[in-house]
Amino acid sequence: MALVLLRRLLQAVVTVAVVITLVFLIFSVIPGDYVSSLMAEKRSLDPAVAERIAAELHLNDPVPLRLGQYLVGILHGDLGLSFATQQPVTEMLGGRIWASFKLACAAMACAIVTGLPLGYIAAARQNRWIDGLAMVFAVSGLSVPGFWFGLLLMYVFSLQLGWLPTFGYGQGGIEHLILPALTLGIAPMALLARTTRAAVLETKTADFIRTARSKGMSEGRLVRKHLARNAFMLILTMIGLQFGSMMGGSVVIESLFAWPGVGSLLIQSVGLRDIPVVQGCILVIVLFFLIVNTLVDVAYLLIDPRIRYK
């Protein structure tokens, strides 16, 4: 078990290193850096000044040197300074990670609370009208553009009904959280409903369920003891995958709702070519994905003894 975990951890470290290098190369090899985007913005920028800024930001150093220094910095917990504000990137990310995490948790909660029962009901009434309706609902949820769904929610609940604020973070209260969470949760909800339905249907026809039923086990106990436990493994995978990619998936939603998270910071700094900040945001997004997935693996080992002995 420890060996499996160690292997996973090693894989995660390699993945992070490759992503960092890849993003770094994308931004350094292709022409056009922070200074040139600054010059495009302020046309009157003196070439001499531009040269000095570039030198101060070490943009003229060779790429391998800069990459090496950056990677060493990461090991010390130092993500460099923002080109635009000279603020440490770790400081800029600090508060935003919490905002994004809060949004991701709220969205996942929405998705689980609605998606799981929907999928279960659909499976229990397989091929009835309610099943069809639930699945039409699910495929629609997968097809709806999140930012458009958010606009519609904003129109109905903020502008027409006046129940909730349109956008922003406010004092961090729940009223600002509801609409972005619903918007971000719609696609995972749809996927969860489909996964739950498929998992329950698959488990329902398994041999051990038939055995349990034939030995006279009550339906309620059957569902709790056997069906739910086994179907849950498949559902957990989907929850993990969805939750893990939510930090990155929320990029568009965060900027629609002006949510001060990692995603909206990423978009701001991408426009400025503020590479240290872009790197930092992507690092957070990837780390979050890898941490969640490793946790799911650990949960597997704890829930399902069969994996432990492999």
Partner 1 sequence: MLKLLARPNLATGGAIVLIAILVAVFAPLIAPHDPITDANLMFAETAPDADFLMGTDEQGRDIFSRIVYGARIALTIGLLVELMNTIIGVALGVSAGYFGGWWDEFVQGLTNVMLAVPTIVFALALMAVLGPGILSLLIALGMTDWAYSCRISRAQVLTMKSRPFVQAARTMGYGPVHIMARELLPNIAGPLVVVATMGIGSAIMAEASLSFLGLGVVPPAPSWGSMLARAREQLIVAPWVAVFPGLAIFFTVLGFNLLGDGLRDLLDPQGRSKR
Residues that bind partner 1 (CB under 8 A): 11, 14-15, 18-19, 22-23, 26-27, 30, 32, 139-140, 142-149, 151-152, 154-155, 159, 166-167, 194-195, 197-198, 201-202, 245, 248-249, 251-252, 255-256, 266-267, 270-271, 273, 278, 282, 285-286, 289-290
Q: How far apart are CB 176 and partner 1 at their closest, in Å?
A: 15
Q: How far is residue 80's CA from residue 140's CA, in Å, rounded to a whole number?
A: 43
Determine the Cα–Cα distance for residues 195 and 173; give it in Å rounded to an integer.
Answer: 32
Give the nearer residue to partner 1 in terms of CB position, either 217 or 236: 236
Q: What are phi and psi of 205, to 5 degrees?
A: -95, 5
DSSP state of 81: B
CB of 21 to partner 1, least distance (A): 10
User: Given the structure tokens 């998606």, which residue do they identify?
Assistant: 115
Give dist(CA 120, CA 123) in Å, integer.
Answer: 5
Output the smallest distance, CB 211 to partner 1, in A. 20
CB nearer to partner 1: pick between 57 and 278 = 278
Nearest distance from C-beta of residue 215 to partner 1, angstroms? 26
Q: Which is nearer to partner 1, 129 or 309 (CB)?
A: 129
Structure tokens at 247: 């930090």
Burial of 32 (0-12, 13-18, 19+ CB in 10 A): exposed
- Of the pair 160, 220, the CB lying nearest partner 1 is at 160
Nearer to partner 1, 185 or 249 (CB): 249
What's the min distance (Å) between Cβ of 187 and partner 1? 10
Q: Whose Cβ is closer to partner 1: residue 46's or residue 285's?
A: 285
Cα–Cα distances in angstroms (integers) from residue 266 to residues 31, 76, 162, 269, 271, in the given order: 20, 22, 31, 5, 9
What's the distance, CA 42 to chain centroid? 35
Residue holding tokens 């998936």?
249
Separation CA 145–CA 152 (nearest Å): 11
Minimum CB distance to partner 1, residue 256 (Å): 7
**Residue nearer to partner 1 on the CB measure, 2 or 29:** 29
Helical segments of 57-156, H only? 63-75, 89-124, 129-143, 146-153
Q: How many CB atoms neighbour CB 21 within 10 A?
A: 13
